[in-house]
């Protein structure tokens, strides 16, 4: 299983690019990486998951736990996802609570 992650910080904005598969094994890697992020009030985090080709419930759990931490610190989280991953957030009802945007498809 493969997971690639990159983070870039610009002022009060942190952009994370996540690519590959988020499963039981790689979810722990992502969780550890997200826990290293120092959150501050009014900070904005944008996680681009549009290149994630597979995510199971363990990956979803990591994203939800991170979302809860972001909200607790009074920061903002935006997710950019593919149609496949959007279905998971829609089915679970998380789309009602989280700021989730469908990635633009390059044509």
Cα–Cα dist 59/107, whole Å: 29
Name the pTM for this structure.
0.92
Please name which of 56, 7, 70, 68 lies closest in space to residue 27, comparing C-alpha atoms: 56
Cα–Cα dist 5/75, whole Å: 21
Tokens of 74: 């009074």
Q: What is the pLDDT of residues 43-52, one digit of tens each?
A: 999 999 999 9
Tokens of 36: 């290293």
User: pLDDT above 70 covers what percent of the chain?
Assistant: 97
Average pLDDT over residues 12-38: 95
pLDDT value at 66 more than 80: yes
Q: What domains, with CATH codes, occur in the chain?
A: 3-102 (3.30.750.24)
Q: Provide the pLDDT confidence category of residue 107 given band limits of 50, 70 and 90.
A: very low
Average pLDDT over the chain, rounded to whole?
94
């Amino acid at each position: 299983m493969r997971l690639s992650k990159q983070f870039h910080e610009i002022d009060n904005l942190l952009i994370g690019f996540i690519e590959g598969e988020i499963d039981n094994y790689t979810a722990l890697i992502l969780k550890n990486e997200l826990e290293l992020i120092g959150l501050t009030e009014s900070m904005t985090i944008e996680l681009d998951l549009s290149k994630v080709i597979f995510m199971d419930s363990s990956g979803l759990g990591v994203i939800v736990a991170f979302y809860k931490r972001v909200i607790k610190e009074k920061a903002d989280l935006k997710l950019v996802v593919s149609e496949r991953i959007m279905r998971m957030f829609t089915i679970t009802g998380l789309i009602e609570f989280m700021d989730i945007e469908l990635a633009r498809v390059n044509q």
